[in-house]
Amino acid sequence: MNFGSTPGWPVVLGDGPVLLRPYRRSDAAAWSEVRRANQAWLAPWESSPPGRWDELNSPVAFRYVYKDQRRQARRGEGMPFAVCLSESGRERLVGHLNLGNIVRRAFCSAYVGYWVDARVAGRGIVPTALALVVDHAFGPGGLHRVEVNIRPENGPSRRVVEKLGFREEAYHPRYMHIDGAWRDHIGYAMTSEDLTAEGGLLARWHRLRTAAS
């Protein structure tokens, strides 16, 4: 596989049962099953290209998603991760996290988007995945800033970034076309300096979890 010379890509990241890896062509059936089973859970938070959910999320549609993701990674514009749970010797695809819109030079910044299967929500999978990716972005990825934009109505997603200590920086009216309309978003961000005294975001997340248990 030739991914070009994107710093930090390809890579496999893991913490406990949470495993992040590049997508494989053979993910088509699993990706389609998860996406189709989660229409009501995911649709309110995603852009809405024309077409039926079942078709847009079919194993055949995955071929285009896969190609597009590989193209972005090859150009150094994104790091698209399949989020997997590795339990009882079995790995299953349960979500997605993309470090996208990577811009280097004086900016060295990227945006993160994510989702997880409703059947495994509430287990800290996405905060773990996000912490892994932020540490990777600020280390081998050579980036300085990571941003997450979230609809004000999306309480669970706001909890993810607030728990991890992202800074609320902006309110963007009619920012992105999501679920059929231009929707306001809250901009959260973190820069590498925010973590210098912390030993990384994963270490911070582990400390928070230990303190809460």
Ligand X SMILES: CC(C)(COP(=O)(O)OP(=O)(O)OC[C@H]1O[C@@H](n2cnc3c(N)ncnc32)[C@H](O)[C@@H]1OP(=O)(O)O)[C@@H](O)C(=O)NCCC(=O)NCCS
Selected from 62, 114, 138, 205, the binder of ligand X by CB under 6 A is 114
Q: At what angle do helices 155-164 and 201-212 cross, to 10 degrees?
A: 110
Q: Do residues 114 and 97 make contact, with C-beta atoms less than 8 angstroms apart?
A: yes
Structure tokens at 123: 């287990």
In angstroms, the Cα distances linking 137 to 80, 133, 141, 145, 190 are 12, 6, 4, 8, 11
Place of tokens 């582990």: 206
The answer to whether residue 124 forms part of the interface with ligand X (CB under 6 A) is yes
The residue range among 27-35, 49-57, 122-130, 131-139 that interacts with ligand X, by the rule CB under 6 A, is 122-130
Decide whether 142 or 152 has the Cβ nearer to ligand X. 152
Interface mask toward ligand X for 139-178; x: CB under 6 A: -----------x---xxxx-xx--x---------------
Number of residues binding to ligand X, judged by CB under 6 A: 21
Q: What would the DSSP string read from start to end of 160-205?
A: HHHHHTPEEEEEEEEEEEETTEEEEEEEEEEEGGGGTTTT-HHHHH
The answer to whether residue 98 forms part of the interface with ligand X (CB under 6 A) is no
The answer to whether residue 42 forms part of the interface with ligand X (CB under 6 A) is yes
Q: Do residues 95 and 130 make contact, with C-beta atoms less than 8 angstroms apart?
A: no
- Give the 3-state secondary structure of residue 109: strand
The answer to whether residue 205 forms part of the interface with ligand X (CB under 6 A) is no
Please state the closest distance from residue 4 (CB atom) to ligand X, in A.
Answer: 28
Decide whether 60 or 212 has the Cβ nearer to ligand X. 212
Selected from 125, 131, 146, 201, the binder of ligand X by CB under 6 A is 125
Kindly tell me the sign of the dihedral angle through the C-alpha atoms of 33, 72, 145, 22.
Answer: positive
Decide whether 73 or 150 has the Cβ nearer to ligand X. 150
The answer to whether residue 122 forms part of the interface with ligand X (CB under 6 A) is yes
The residue range among 2-10, 60-68, 100-108, 125-133 that interacts with ligand X, by the rule CB under 6 A, is 125-133
Look at strands 109-116 and 145-150 and give their pairing: parallel
Selected from 25, 63, 123, 177, the binder of ligand X by CB under 6 A is 123
Distance CA 209, CA 206 (A): 5
> Residue 151 has what DSSP assignment?
-
Decide whether 159 or 207 has the Cβ nearer to ligand X. 159
The answer to whether residue 41 forms part of the interface with ligand X (CB under 6 A) is yes
Interface contacts to ligand X, rule CB under 6 A: 41-42, 45, 114-116, 121-127, 150, 154-157, 159-160, 163
